Amino acid sequence: MPSLNQQIFIAAVLGLAIGGLLHHVGSASVTYEWTLYAANLIASVFVDLLKMVLIPLVFSTIVVGVANLQANKNIHQVWKVTLIFFVSSMSLAMLLGLFVMNWIRPGEGIHLAMFQESMNSFEYSKMNPAEFFTNFLHSLFQNPINALAKGDILAVVVFALFLGIALVVGGERYRNILNIFQEFLDLMMRIIGWIMLIAPLGIFSFLLKLAATQNLEILTTLATFILTIIGATLFHGVVVLPLLLYAITRKTPLWFWRGAREALMTAFATSSSNATLPVTLRCTQEKLKVRKDITGFVVPLGATLNMDGTALYEAAAALFIANLAGIDLSLSQQLIVFCTAMIAAMGAPGMPSAGMVTMVLVLQSVGLPVEAIAILLPIDRLLDTFRTTVNVEGDMIGSLIVERYVAKIDTVFGD
Ligand code: ASP
């Protein structure tokens, strides 16, 4: 029996191959219809199962993570290193995105007529950075019961942070409650182990759907842009992030890939950092062996805030739209794109195509036509796979790097 990792890999390859074949058979046939129906059903059950454990898991992971971190004298360092890592790795990703777009300049000479119709019917809600920021701030502090029920991850994260800190400040008196959370977390991890048994089937179905339903005509029209984005995203994921990891922790990319692949494949297939979160936590703790308190803090926070792939994409796509519109963005305008893309990526929830929604903010910031998002929508399902994978990779690498720094500080100052 192949290992779970091997099964997932085989399932991914088979899913893409069979989906590609199905695409040839054509959407009119009964086989196509039924296979797609079955794939849809299995894919959605897989994601539903992951979402089922998501909120209880995030909640208990953070409470326990923070409570245990607080016990460590270096909690301030963990906060700082985590946030510095998030901002620096996203900045690197955006610089890379802007660099390749300025170099390759895809988008010049594309016939816009093809997209005119969808652009006319495209609707969007106006956003300005101040409003966006106010909304973002409001969304942080909510009635926890409401946030838990709605599955609003960021608000759940914030409440869990408060609760974790309160538990530690309260000390011995709340020991029992902390123990209950700890046991509860163990139970969730057990359930995730069961859900992972059907991960190969879920990933197979997702990728089959993706390959069977892609619109090839649009893919070829926008080929240069698509290849530029995929190339830059992969470069960040395969070269930049692993280099950072190696430089700071001396862990090799191969070692990382072995431990992280379940999560990376799940992210690729589902295009959702949130849905992947249970798997990310499992891989970071059990395979990459990062301390539970650090994983519990960095990974859930990173799933909503740390999005290298999304930041790269939002910055690059703004330049693409400028090229299509025949506008040459100046250096200072590109600086604005850089800053708003950072906010937009941090504000995007870890859901499929969430980056497309916050993209409006980036386009508006430099006066680009927002309707042009209609051009990006048909290719988003494909690009989202890559950027979500790199988003999740960034969270796992971030945990390893934060752990390394905290260990260093521990040895210098003593525990
Ligand atoms: N799908 C991405 C994620 O979940 C967000 C995005 O649309 O960029 O990480």
Task: Give me the numbers of helices (H) and strands (E) for the chain, helices first please.
Answer: 19, 0
Q: Which two tokens stand for residue 241?
A: 């992030």
Q: What are phi and psi of 88, to 5 degrees?
A: -70, -40
Q: Where are the alpha helices (DSSP H) in 222-327?
A: 223-235, 241-249, 253-270, 273-282, 292-305, 308-324
The response to whether residue 352 sits with its C-beta less than 6 Å from ligand 1 reads yes
Q: How many domains does the chain have?
A: 1
Distance CA 408, CA 249 (A): 11
CA-nearest residue for atom 8, ligand 1, is 355
Would you say residue 216 lies in a domain? Answer: yes
The response to whether residue 354 sits with its C-beta less than 6 Å from ligand 1 reads yes
pLDDT of residue 115: 57
The response to whether residue 353 sits with its C-beta less than 6 Å from ligand 1 reads yes
CA-nearest residue for atom 3, ligand 1, is 350
Distance CA 21, CA 15 (A): 10
Q: What angle do CA 235, 237, 239 make, to 5 degrees?
A: 55
Would you say residue 40 lies in a domain? Answer: yes
Contact of 266 with 203, CB cutoff 8 Å? yes
| Atom nearest to 353 CA in ligand 1 | 7
Would you say residue 105 lies in a domain? Answer: yes
Q: How far is the CA of 353 from the centre of ligand 1 (A)?
A: 6
Would you say residue 82 lies in a domain? Answer: yes
Would you say residue 65 lies in a domain? Answer: yes
pLDDT of residue 409: 64
Q: How far is the CA of 167 from the centre of ligand 1 (A)?
A: 32
Contact of 260 with 389, CB cutoff 8 Å? no
Contact of 278 with 50, CB cutoff 8 Å? yes
How many C-beta atoms lie closer than 10 Å to residue 125's C-beta?
8
Query: What's the burial of 288, exposed, middle or buried (CB within 10 Å: 0-12/13-18/19+)?
Result: buried
User: Domain of 67: which CATH number?
Assistant: 1.10.3860
What percent helix, strand, coil does the chain show, rounded to 5? 85, 0, 15
Name the DSSP class of 287.
I
Tokens 């739209």 sit at which residue? 321
Q: Which two tokens stand for residue 92?
A: 């690197």
Q: Could you tell me if residue 414 is left (phi over 0), alpha (psi between -120 and 50 degrees) or otherwise beta?
A: left
The response to whether residue 267 sits with its C-beta less than 6 Å from ligand 1 reads no
pLDDT of residue 386: 97
Would you say residue 414 lies in a domain? Answer: no
| Atom nearest to 314 CA in ligand 1 | 8
How many C-beta atoms lie closer than 10 Å to residue 2's C-beta?
10
| CA-closest candidate to residue 156, choices 400, 401, 395, 350 | 350
pLDDT of residue 282: 94
Would you say residue 415 lies in a domain? Answer: no
In tens digits, the chain (415 residues) has pLDDT values of 788 888 999 999 999 999 989 888 877 778 888 999 999 999 999 999 998 998 999 899 888 888 877 666 667 788 889 999 999 999 999 999 999 999 998 877 665 665 566 566 666 666 677 777 787 788 889 999 999 998 887 888 889 989 988 988 888 899 899 999 999 999 998 999 999 999 999 999 999 998 888 877 778 878 999 999 999 999 999 999 999 999 999 999 999 999 999 999 999 999 999 999 999 999 999 999 999 889 988 999 899 889 999 999 999 999 999 888 888 889 999 999 999 999 889 988 899 999 988 888 898 888 888 888 888 888 999 999 999 999 999 999 999 999 998 876 665 544 4
Distance CA 241, CA 245 (A): 6
Distance CA 304, CA 319 (A): 24
Model pTM score:
0.87
Structural domain for 228, as ranges? 4-409
Would you say residue 323 lies in a domain? Answer: yes
The response to whether residue 347 sits with its C-beta less than 6 Å from ligand 1 reads no
The response to whether residue 188 sits with its C-beta less than 6 Å from ligand 1 reads no
Distance CA 26, CA 30 (A): 9
The response to whether residue 351 sits with its C-beta less than 6 Å from ligand 1 reads yes
